[in-house]
């Protein structure tokens, strides 16, 4: 029986949209195009006014808005085609189309299967924003020395514990406390 362990698609989409320089660049261009509609540019330097006129003639705001829509659509495609599943003996990681985590490239869907008996360790990290959204990134280390990343996983501590338990790593004690 396979158990879906992530990712949180809505949070993943918002993360890729809000923390992208493409989004902020497009928003800056759109704001610059809307600025002359709400402000009097008569006291501005001639160079600034001529740049606004040039941008209006070349439809720079329309291009910026179109890029923003394309970027938002790509973020939703990326997040809704990504899936992580765990069965009794394997972990299936399917990074979606346009994913920066894919090894096959942006236009391919990358599916990796990690047998749980190959898992050497599992850790998770959370930023303050991720803690508030109750998501995080789980990193799985295999015995071959490879790392697998599961970003935007809901309940990362529970997922880490389930991976450690099913792989049998939780039963071994790596470190022992030595009393002086």
Give the rounded distance of the alpha carbon of 114 from its chain centre: 21
Among 34-38, 45-49, 62-66, 140-144, name the most confident range. 140-144
25-29, 56-60, 168-172 — which is least confidently predicted? 168-172
- CB of 91 within 8 A of CB of 84? yes
Query: In the predicted model, what is the mean pLDDT of residues 8-15?
Result: 79
Query: In the predicted model, what is the mean pLDDT of residues 35-45?
Result: 75
User: Which of the listed CATH numbers 3.40.190.10, 3.40.50.300, 2.30.29.30, 2.40.30.60 matches domain 83-170?
Assistant: 2.30.29.30
Rounded CA-CA distance 43/62 in Å is 26
- CB of 151 within 8 A of CB of 12? yes
pLDDT tens, residue by residue, 105-127: 667 788 888 998 888 888 889 98
Each domain of the chain, given as residue ranges in start order, spans: 12-77, 83-170
Task: Kindly list the distances between the CA atom of residue 34 and the CA atoms of 38, 64, 147, 157, 164, in Å, as whole numbers in the listed order.
Answer: 7, 12, 46, 45, 53
| Band (73; pLDDT cuts 50, 70, 90) | confident
Query: In the predicted model, what is the mean pLDDT of residues 20-38?
Result: 80
Backbone dihedral angles phi then psi of residue 116, each to the nearest 5 degrees? -65, -20
Q: What was the pLDDT predicted at 60?
A: 77
Decide if pLDDT at 178 tops 70.
no
Rounded CA-CA distance 119/99 in Å is 24
Rounded CA-CA distance 100/9 in Å is 15
């Amino acid at each position: 029986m396979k158990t879906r362990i992530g990712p949180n698609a809505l949070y993943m989409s918002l993360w890729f949209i809000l923390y992208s320089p493409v989004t902020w660049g497009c928003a800056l261009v759109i704001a610059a195009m809307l600025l002359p509609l709400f402000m009097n540019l008569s006291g501005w330097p001639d160079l600034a006014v001529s740049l606004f006129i040039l941008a209006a003639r070349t439809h720079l705001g329309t291009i910026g808005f179109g890029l923003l829509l394309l970027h938002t659509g790509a973020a939703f495609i990326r997040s809704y085609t990504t899936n992580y599943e765990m069965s009794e003996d394997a972990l299936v990681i399917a990074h979606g189309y346009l994913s920066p985590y894919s090894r096959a490239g942006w236009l391919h869907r990358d599916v990796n299967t990690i047998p749980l008996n190959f898992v050497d360790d599992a850790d998770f990290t959370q930023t303050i924003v991720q803690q508030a959204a109750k998501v995080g990134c789980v990193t799985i280390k295999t015995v071959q020395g490879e790392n697998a990343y599961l970003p935007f996983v809901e309940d990362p501590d529970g997922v880490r514990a389930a991976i450690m338990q099913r792989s049998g790593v939780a039963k071994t004690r790596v470190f022992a406390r030595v009393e002086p």
